[in-house]
């Protein structure tokens, strides 16, 4: 080998030759070991890739597909023609001292999911008697909230009931004692609105 010097020193030449052979053998063993680690037997010659330590992307993708998490703000707003709003009462007549419970139902009658503003700031409950508007829920409303709700097609949602105290309201009557409305079998009508959509009809009831 042209890069090696002849052995020098007090040792015999045979000793230096044996040492060189040992060094060469060790070097060859290291080279073989490295080759076996880098090159997989039976492979096409490509280097072995490092092991994956993160969660495989295909598992993450499958999990997202099976558990979609759609959040408010990711869907289009419900068109007015896609919503049906209905007034609801807990009964159709009330004896003296009984207070009507008012609620409403909103249904997406379209074919796709959509979003609607269904907080109390966008809802109105109105009670009328003939042409007389007797009471409106927004006259003295406290802390109205805005809330975006995702509506599934053909899956109606109902609000929690609110209580009407059988009084006449106006924006000017919030800090005073209100007058009780007429009873003795008088007929009243509840109409509602939500997400900018008025109910198509009213629910009638009697007060005694």
- How much is the pLDDT for 14? 53
- How much is the pLDDT for 24? 60
Closest CA to 111 of 85, 86, 79, 87: 79
CATH 2.60.40.10 domain span(s) along the chain: 80-207
CB atoms within 10 A of CB 199: 22
Residue 85 has which token pair?
Answer: 């709003």
Instruction: Kindly list the averaged pLDDT for each block of 10 residues, start to end, along the chain of length 208.
Output: 39 53 61 52 42 39 48 84 97 97 96 94 96 95 91 95 96 93 96 95 97
Question: How far apart, in whole angstroms, are the C-alpha atoms of residue 154 and residue 123?
Answer: 21
Beta bridge partners of 117: 148
**DSSP sequence for 62-129:** HHHHHS----TTSSPBPPGGGEEEEEEES-SEE-TT---EEEEEEEE-SSS-EEEE-SGGGEEEEEEE
- How much is the pLDDT for 33? 57
CATH number for the domain formed by residue range(s) 80-207: 2.60.40.10
- How much is the pLDDT for 181? 97
Q: How much is the pTM?
A: 0.65
């Amino acid at each position: 080998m042209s890069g090696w010097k002849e052995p020098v020193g007090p040792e015999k030449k045979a000793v230096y030759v044996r040492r060189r052979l040992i060094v060469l053998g060790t070097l060859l063993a290291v080279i073989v070991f490295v080759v076996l680690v880098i090159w997989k037997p039976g492979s096409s010659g490509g280097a072995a890739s490092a092991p994956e330590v993160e969660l495989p992307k295909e598992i993450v993708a499958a999990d997202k597909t099976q558990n979609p998490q759609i959040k408010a703000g990711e869907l289009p707003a419900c068109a007015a023609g896609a919503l049906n709003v209905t007034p609801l009462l807990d009964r159709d007549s009330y004896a003296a001292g009984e207070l009507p419970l008012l609620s409403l139902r909103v249904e997406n009658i379209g074919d796709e999911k959509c979003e609607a503003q269904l907080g109390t700031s966008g809802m109105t409950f109105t009670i009328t008697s003939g042409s007389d508007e007797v009471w409106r829920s927004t006259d003295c409303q406290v802390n109205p909230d805005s809330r975006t709700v995702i509506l599934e097609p053909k899956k109606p949602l109902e609000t929690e009931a609110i209580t009407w105290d059988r009084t006449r309201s106006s924006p000017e009557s919030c800090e005073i004692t209100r007058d009780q409305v007429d009873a003795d079998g008088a007929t009243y009508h509840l109409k509602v609105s939500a997400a900018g959509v008025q109910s198509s009809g009213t629910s009638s009831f009697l007060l005694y």
